[in-house]
Amino acid sequence: MAVPKSKVFRARSRKRRTHYKINLPAIVPCPKCKEMRLAHHVCKECGTYNGVQVLAMDEEKKKA
């Protein structure tokens, strides 16, 4: 039967189990105003989400 020659320390095995990865935010263009926004979030520029006007925006913000 196979027997380990030395003890495997906790730190050694835990180093293999890390899941540290860089997660980039999902940025997509808004279908209405074409500004970049976070996916699955209300657009800050035009106030729409999934084709529905959710936030009332100021007139000066709409023109810009």
CA distance 29 to 39: 9
Range of the domain at 31: 26-64
* 30: in domain: yes
C-alpha to C-alpha distance for 46 and 24, rounded to whole angstroms = 24
Global pTM? 0.55
Tens digits of residue pLDDT in 15-49 = 888 878 888 889 999 999 999 999 999 999 999 99
3 occurs within a structural domain? no
Q: Examine residue 20 and state whether it is found in any structural domain, yes or no.
A: no
52 beta partners: 49
Tokens of 59: 């007139």
The tally of domains found in the chain comes to 1
* Closest C-alpha to 53, from 36, 33, 26: 33
Give the pLDDT band of residue 63 (cuts 50, 70, 90): low
